[in-house]
Chains A and B, each alone.
Chain A
Amino acid sequence: MYIIVIGGGKVGYFLARALLDEGHEILVVEKSPARTEFIRNELGSVCVRGDGCEVATLTEAGTGRAEMFIAVTGEDEDNLVACQVAKHKFNVPRTVARINNPKNEAIFKELGIDVAVSSTNIILESIQEEVPTHSLTHLLDIRDKGLEIVELKIPADAKTVGKEIRELSMPPESRLFLIIPAQEKPRVPTASTVIQAEDQIIAITTPQSEEALRKALRGS
Protein backbone atom coordinates (compact mmCIF):
# COMPACT_ATOMS: atom_id res chain seq x y z
CA MET A 1 0.00 0.00 0.00
CA TYR A 2 1.31 3.48 -0.82
CA ILE A 3 1.15 5.63 2.33
CA ILE A 4 2.17 9.28 2.64
CA VAL A 5 3.27 10.55 6.05
CA ILE A 6 3.34 14.29 6.70
CA GLY A 7 5.81 15.34 9.36
CA GLY A 8 9.14 13.66 10.04
CA GLY A 9 9.42 14.34 13.76
CA LYS A 10 9.60 11.54 16.33
CA VAL A 11 6.12 10.23 15.56
CA GLY A 12 6.55 10.50 11.79
CA TYR A 13 9.95 8.85 11.81
CA PHE A 14 9.00 5.86 13.95
CA LEU A 15 5.71 5.47 12.09
CA ALA A 16 7.56 5.45 8.76
CA ARG A 17 9.97 2.85 10.07
CA ALA A 18 7.16 0.62 11.30
CA LEU A 19 5.25 0.92 8.02
CA LEU A 20 8.38 0.11 6.01
CA ASP A 21 8.95 -2.98 8.16
CA GLU A 22 5.42 -4.10 7.32
CA GLY A 23 6.35 -3.87 3.64
CA HIS A 24 4.43 -0.72 2.66
CA GLU A 25 5.64 1.83 0.18
CA ILE A 26 5.96 5.08 2.06
CA LEU A 27 6.98 8.69 1.59
CA VAL A 28 7.61 11.18 4.38
CA VAL A 29 7.15 14.89 3.68
CA GLU A 30 9.17 17.04 6.10
CA LYS A 31 9.74 20.79 6.26
CA SER A 32 13.13 20.92 7.95
CA PRO A 33 16.23 20.15 5.84
CA ALA A 34 18.06 18.67 8.84
CA ARG A 35 15.24 16.25 9.67
CA THR A 36 14.90 15.29 5.99
CA GLU A 37 18.60 14.51 5.87
CA PHE A 38 18.36 12.45 9.07
CA ILE A 39 15.47 10.33 7.77
CA ARG A 40 17.20 9.76 4.43
CA ASN A 41 20.30 8.57 6.25
CA GLU A 42 18.31 6.24 8.48
CA LEU A 43 15.64 4.91 6.13
CA GLY A 44 16.87 5.59 2.61
CA SER A 45 15.28 7.78 -0.03
CA VAL A 46 11.79 7.79 1.44
CA CYS A 47 11.73 11.43 2.54
CA VAL A 48 11.17 14.62 0.57
CA ARG A 49 11.54 18.12 1.86
CA GLY A 50 8.47 20.29 1.51
CA ASP A 51 5.25 21.66 2.93
CA GLY A 52 2.70 18.87 3.24
CA CYS A 53 -0.17 21.34 2.87
CA GLU A 54 0.99 22.61 -0.50
CA VAL A 55 -0.66 21.21 -3.59
CA ALA A 56 2.60 21.38 -5.58
CA THR A 57 4.51 19.31 -3.02
CA LEU A 58 1.73 16.75 -2.78
CA THR A 59 1.46 16.47 -6.57
CA GLU A 60 5.16 15.74 -6.74
CA ALA A 61 4.77 13.18 -3.96
CA GLY A 62 2.28 11.25 -6.10
CA THR A 63 -0.57 11.78 -3.63
CA GLY A 64 -3.07 10.87 -6.35
CA ARG A 65 -2.18 7.19 -6.05
CA ALA A 66 -1.79 7.12 -2.25
CA GLU A 67 -4.24 4.82 -0.46
CA MET A 68 -3.62 6.37 2.91
CA PHE A 69 -2.50 9.79 4.07
CA ILE A 70 -1.28 10.30 7.64
CA ALA A 71 -0.50 13.77 9.04
CA VAL A 72 1.50 13.70 12.27
CA THR A 73 3.10 17.13 12.62
CA GLY A 74 3.03 18.88 15.98
CA GLU A 75 0.45 21.42 14.82
CA ASP A 76 -3.23 20.47 14.68
CA GLU A 77 -4.07 23.08 12.02
CA ASP A 78 -1.34 21.79 9.70
CA ASN A 79 -2.55 18.21 10.09
CA LEU A 80 -6.12 19.27 9.39
CA VAL A 81 -5.29 21.23 6.26
CA ALA A 82 -2.89 18.59 4.89
CA CYS A 83 -5.60 15.91 5.26
CA GLN A 84 -8.27 18.12 3.72
CA VAL A 85 -6.03 18.87 0.72
CA ALA A 86 -5.29 15.14 0.33
CA LYS A 87 -8.94 14.21 0.58
CA HIS A 88 -10.50 16.88 -1.60
CA LYS A 89 -7.78 17.63 -4.12
CA PHE A 90 -6.30 14.14 -4.51
CA ASN A 91 -9.22 11.93 -3.42
CA VAL A 92 -7.13 9.89 -0.98
CA PRO A 93 -9.57 7.30 0.43
CA ARG A 94 -8.33 7.33 4.03
CA THR A 95 -6.90 10.27 5.95
CA VAL A 96 -5.56 10.09 9.49
CA ALA A 97 -4.59 13.14 11.56
CA ARG A 98 -2.74 13.38 14.83
CA ILE A 99 -4.26 15.91 17.19
CA ASN A 100 -2.60 17.47 20.17
CA ASN A 101 -5.56 19.32 21.61
CA PRO A 102 -8.06 16.57 22.64
CA LYS A 103 -10.93 19.02 22.08
CA ASN A 104 -10.23 18.86 18.36
CA GLU A 105 -11.23 15.21 18.03
CA ALA A 106 -14.90 15.94 17.38
CA ILE A 107 -14.09 18.98 15.23
CA PHE A 108 -11.81 16.97 12.93
CA LYS A 109 -14.51 14.33 12.47
CA GLU A 110 -17.02 17.03 11.65
CA LEU A 111 -14.60 18.49 9.10
CA GLY A 112 -14.28 15.19 7.24
CA ILE A 113 -11.05 13.66 8.57
CA ASP A 114 -11.51 9.87 8.65
CA VAL A 115 -9.53 9.19 11.82
CA ALA A 116 -8.30 11.67 14.43
CA VAL A 117 -5.81 10.26 16.92
CA SER A 118 -5.33 12.28 20.06
CA SER A 119 -1.76 11.66 21.19
CA THR A 120 -2.41 13.67 24.34
CA ASN A 121 -5.39 11.49 25.30
CA ILE A 122 -3.48 8.28 24.66
CA ILE A 123 -0.62 9.40 26.88
CA LEU A 124 -3.00 10.63 29.58
CA GLU A 125 -4.92 7.37 29.60
CA SER A 126 -1.81 5.22 29.83
CA ILE A 127 -0.59 7.28 32.75
CA GLN A 128 -3.99 7.21 34.45
CA GLU A 129 -4.01 3.42 34.24
CA GLU A 130 -0.89 3.41 36.36
CA VAL A 131 -2.38 5.67 39.01
CA PRO A 132 -3.94 3.31 41.59
CA THR A 133 -6.62 5.77 42.72
CA HIS A 134 -8.00 6.11 39.23
CA SER A 135 -11.07 3.94 39.26
CA LEU A 136 -12.11 3.62 35.62
CA THR A 137 -9.94 3.02 32.59
CA HIS A 138 -11.02 3.14 28.96
CA LEU A 139 -9.88 0.05 27.14
CA LEU A 140 -11.63 0.55 23.82
CA ASP A 141 -13.94 3.13 22.31
CA ILE A 142 -16.46 1.83 19.78
CA ARG A 143 -17.26 5.31 18.55
CA ASP A 144 -19.66 4.65 15.70
CA LYS A 145 -21.89 2.67 18.11
CA GLY A 146 -21.45 5.15 20.97
CA LEU A 147 -20.13 2.39 23.26
CA GLU A 148 -16.97 1.90 25.26
CA ILE A 149 -15.28 -0.96 27.02
CA VAL A 150 -13.93 0.00 30.42
CA GLU A 151 -12.10 -1.56 33.29
CA LEU A 152 -12.90 -0.86 36.96
CA LYS A 153 -11.14 -1.96 40.07
CA ILE A 154 -13.08 -2.59 43.26
CA PRO A 155 -11.30 -1.00 46.21
CA ALA A 156 -11.11 -2.99 49.47
CA ASP A 157 -13.33 -0.46 51.24
CA ALA A 158 -16.05 -0.32 48.56
CA LYS A 159 -19.62 -0.58 49.87
CA THR A 160 -20.38 -3.21 47.22
CA VAL A 161 -17.87 -5.79 48.48
CA GLY A 162 -19.79 -8.95 49.48
CA LYS A 163 -22.89 -8.00 47.50
CA GLU A 164 -24.34 -9.98 44.61
CA ILE A 165 -24.44 -8.34 41.22
CA ARG A 166 -28.27 -8.49 41.18
CA GLU A 167 -28.28 -6.14 44.19
CA LEU A 168 -26.43 -3.41 42.32
CA SER A 169 -28.34 -0.64 40.57
CA MET A 170 -26.68 -0.89 37.19
CA PRO A 171 -27.38 1.77 34.55
CA PRO A 172 -29.47 0.30 31.69
CA GLU A 173 -26.90 0.58 28.89
CA SER A 174 -24.14 -1.13 30.85
CA ARG A 175 -23.20 -4.81 31.09
CA LEU A 176 -20.43 -6.53 32.97
CA PHE A 177 -18.82 -9.27 30.99
CA LEU A 178 -15.71 -10.34 32.83
CA ILE A 179 -14.56 -10.39 36.43
CA ILE A 180 -10.89 -10.94 37.18
CA PRO A 181 -10.51 -11.62 40.92
CA ALA A 182 -7.18 -10.87 42.56
CA GLN A 183 -6.42 -14.55 43.30
CA GLU A 184 -8.77 -16.75 41.27
CA LYS A 185 -9.24 -17.26 37.54
CA PRO A 186 -11.26 -14.78 35.45
CA ARG A 187 -14.95 -15.65 35.10
CA VAL A 188 -18.05 -14.39 33.33
CA PRO A 189 -20.28 -12.82 36.00
CA THR A 190 -23.88 -13.90 36.61
CA ALA A 191 -26.57 -12.25 38.72
CA SER A 192 -25.44 -14.20 41.78
CA THR A 193 -21.72 -13.48 41.47
CA VAL A 194 -20.44 -11.83 44.63
CA ILE A 195 -18.24 -8.75 44.32
CA GLN A 196 -14.93 -9.09 46.15
CA ALA A 197 -12.28 -6.60 47.12
CA GLU A 198 -9.64 -5.98 44.44
CA ASP A 199 -11.82 -7.48 41.67
CA GLN A 200 -11.05 -6.16 38.23
CA ILE A 201 -14.24 -5.79 36.22
CA ILE A 202 -14.47 -5.39 32.46
CA ALA A 203 -17.71 -3.81 31.30
CA ILE A 204 -19.35 -2.31 28.27
CA THR A 205 -21.13 1.02 28.72
CA THR A 206 -21.83 4.38 27.08
CA PRO A 207 -19.95 7.63 27.80
CA GLN A 208 -23.16 8.98 29.43
CA SER A 209 -23.57 6.01 31.80
CA GLU A 210 -19.91 5.71 32.73
CA GLU A 211 -20.27 7.67 35.96
CA ALA A 212 -23.43 5.78 36.98
CA LEU A 213 -21.66 2.46 36.35
CA ARG A 214 -18.73 3.52 38.47
CA LYS A 215 -21.08 4.48 41.31
CA ALA A 216 -23.06 1.23 41.01
CA LEU A 217 -19.93 -0.90 41.25
CA ARG A 218 -18.15 0.99 43.99
CA GLY A 219 -21.18 2.06 45.98
CA SER A 220 -20.09 5.69 46.15
Chain B
Amino acid sequence: MKIVIMGCGRVGARLAGLLDIEGYDVTIVDTDAYSFRRLPAEFGGNALVGDGMDEDSLRKAGTEDADAFIALTQGDNRNVMGAQIAQHIFKVPRVLCRIYDPLRRELFNSLGVEAFSPTTIFAQMLKEKLEAGKEEAK
Protein backbone atom coordinates (compact mmCIF):
# COMPACT_ATOMS: atom_id res chain seq x y z
CA MET B 1 0.00 0.00 0.00
CA LYS B 2 1.41 3.35 -1.09
CA ILE B 3 1.02 6.40 1.16
CA VAL B 4 1.98 10.03 0.47
CA ILE B 5 2.43 12.35 3.47
CA MET B 6 2.53 16.12 2.99
CA GLY B 7 4.53 17.96 5.67
CA CYS B 8 7.49 16.54 7.59
CA GLY B 9 6.88 18.14 10.96
CA ARG B 10 6.83 16.18 14.21
CA VAL B 11 3.58 14.40 13.45
CA GLY B 12 4.37 13.81 9.77
CA ALA B 13 7.82 12.40 10.50
CA ARG B 14 6.54 10.18 13.29
CA LEU B 15 3.67 8.84 11.22
CA ALA B 16 6.02 8.19 8.29
CA GLY B 17 8.29 6.20 10.63
CA LEU B 18 5.41 4.15 12.04
CA LEU B 19 3.98 3.32 8.62
CA ASP B 20 7.42 2.47 7.24
CA ILE B 21 8.00 -0.08 10.04
CA GLU B 22 4.63 -1.65 9.23
CA GLY B 23 5.83 -2.21 5.68
CA TYR B 24 3.90 0.51 3.84
CA ASP B 25 5.47 2.24 0.85
CA VAL B 26 5.81 5.79 2.25
CA THR B 27 6.74 9.01 0.45
CA ILE B 28 6.96 12.18 2.54
CA VAL B 29 7.00 15.62 0.89
CA ASP B 30 8.14 18.88 2.44
CA THR B 31 9.24 22.24 1.02
CA ASP B 32 12.17 22.31 3.45
CA ALA B 33 14.87 19.61 3.13
CA TYR B 34 16.03 20.39 6.68
CA SER B 35 12.71 19.05 8.03
CA PHE B 36 13.72 15.51 7.01
CA ARG B 37 16.12 15.43 10.00
CA ARG B 38 13.03 14.52 12.02
CA LEU B 39 12.65 11.19 10.22
CA PRO B 40 13.91 8.18 12.17
CA ALA B 41 17.42 7.05 11.17
CA GLU B 42 16.11 3.70 9.93
CA PHE B 43 13.37 5.27 7.72
CA GLY B 44 13.30 3.30 4.48
CA GLY B 45 10.74 5.33 2.50
CA ASN B 46 11.22 8.30 0.18
CA ALA B 47 11.71 11.88 1.34
CA LEU B 48 11.07 14.41 -1.43
CA VAL B 49 11.58 18.17 -1.44
CA GLY B 50 8.46 19.64 -3.01
CA ASP B 51 5.29 21.61 -2.45
CA GLY B 52 2.29 19.45 -1.54
CA MET B 53 0.00 22.00 -3.21
CA ASP B 54 1.83 21.78 -6.51
CA GLU B 55 0.40 19.32 -8.99
CA ASP B 56 3.80 18.44 -10.47
CA SER B 57 5.43 17.86 -7.08
CA LEU B 58 2.55 15.61 -6.10
CA ARG B 59 2.87 13.68 -9.35
CA LYS B 60 6.60 13.23 -8.68
CA ALA B 61 5.75 11.88 -5.25
CA GLY B 62 3.63 9.23 -6.92
CA THR B 63 0.27 10.58 -5.76
CA GLU B 64 -1.36 9.28 -8.96
CA ASP B 65 -1.16 5.69 -7.78
CA ALA B 66 -1.17 6.31 -4.03
CA ASP B 67 -3.73 4.46 -1.91
CA ALA B 68 -3.75 7.16 0.74
CA PHE B 69 -2.75 10.82 1.15
CA ILE B 70 -2.31 12.60 4.48
CA ALA B 71 -1.87 16.39 4.76
CA LEU B 72 0.00 17.43 7.91
CA THR B 73 1.63 20.83 7.34
CA GLN B 74 1.32 23.69 9.83
CA GLY B 75 -1.15 25.54 7.61
CA ASP B 76 -4.82 24.59 7.64
CA ASN B 77 -5.38 26.06 4.20
CA ARG B 78 -2.33 24.36 2.73
CA ASN B 79 -3.59 21.03 4.10
CA VAL B 80 -7.07 21.58 2.72
CA MET B 81 -5.74 22.48 -0.70
CA GLY B 82 -3.26 19.58 -0.85
CA ALA B 83 -5.95 17.17 0.33
CA GLN B 84 -8.46 18.36 -2.26
CA ILE B 85 -5.93 18.12 -5.09
CA ALA B 86 -5.14 14.55 -4.01
CA GLN B 87 -8.85 13.74 -3.79
CA HIS B 88 -10.25 15.44 -6.87
CA ILE B 89 -7.34 15.66 -9.31
CA PHE B 90 -5.43 12.48 -8.46
CA LYS B 91 -8.47 10.52 -7.25
CA VAL B 92 -6.60 9.08 -4.25
CA PRO B 93 -9.09 6.68 -2.57
CA ARG B 94 -8.35 7.72 1.03
CA VAL B 95 -7.43 11.29 1.96
CA LEU B 96 -6.89 12.48 5.52
CA CYS B 97 -6.13 16.01 6.61
CA ARG B 98 -5.31 17.99 9.72
CA ILE B 99 -7.25 21.22 10.30
CA TYR B 100 -6.56 23.04 13.57
CA ASP B 101 -9.58 25.37 13.26
CA PRO B 102 -12.63 23.34 14.42
CA LEU B 103 -15.11 25.42 12.38
CA ARG B 104 -13.14 25.03 9.19
CA ARG B 105 -12.81 21.30 9.90
CA GLU B 106 -16.59 20.97 10.13
CA LEU B 107 -17.07 22.75 6.83
CA PHE B 108 -14.50 20.70 4.95
CA ASN B 109 -15.79 17.48 6.48
CA SER B 110 -19.15 18.35 4.98
CA LEU B 111 -17.39 18.88 1.63
CA GLY B 112 -16.05 15.33 1.78
CA VAL B 113 -12.56 15.93 3.18
CA GLU B 114 -11.85 13.53 6.03
CA ALA B 115 -10.41 16.10 8.43
CA PHE B 116 -9.32 15.97 12.07
CA SER B 117 -8.85 18.86 14.43
CA PRO B 118 -6.09 18.24 17.02
CA THR B 119 -7.53 21.24 18.87
CA THR B 120 -10.87 19.53 19.46
CA ILE B 121 -9.42 16.06 20.03
CA PHE B 122 -6.78 17.22 22.50
CA ALA B 123 -9.12 19.50 24.44
CA GLN B 124 -11.60 16.63 24.73
CA MET B 125 -8.86 14.26 25.86
CA LEU B 126 -7.60 16.67 28.51
CA LYS B 127 -11.13 17.13 29.82
CA GLU B 128 -11.62 13.37 30.06
CA LYS B 129 -8.27 12.87 31.81
CA LEU B 130 -9.11 15.58 34.27
CA GLU B 131 -12.54 14.13 35.02
CA ALA B 132 -11.17 10.58 35.34
CA GLY B 133 -8.62 11.89 37.86
CA LYS B 134 -11.38 13.56 39.81
CA GLU B 135 -13.32 10.28 39.97
CA GLU B 136 -10.26 8.44 41.31
CA ALA B 137 -9.60 11.10 43.90
CA LYS B 138 -13.07 10.70 45.36
Contact = CB atoms under 8 A, between A and B. Distances in A.
B89 interface: yes
A56 B107 CA distance: 13
Contact of B54 (A55, A84, A103): A103
A85 B77 contact: no
Contacts of A77: 53, 75, 77-78, 80-81
B103 A107 contact: no
Contacts, number: 52
A76 B82 CA distance: 11
B111 A88 contact: yes
A111 interface: yes
A103 B51 CA distance: 13
Chain A interface mostly: helix
Interface string B44-68: 0000000001111000000000000
Interface in A88-111: 88-89, 101, 103-104, 107, 110-111
Given A53-B104, A55-B104, A103-B54, A75 B88 contact: no
B107 A111 contact: no
Contacts of B111: 84, 88
A81 B77 contact: yes
Given A77-B53, A77-B75, A103-B55, A55 B80 contact: no
Given A84-B111, A107-B55, A111-B84, A54 B77 contact: no
A107 to B, nearest CB: 6
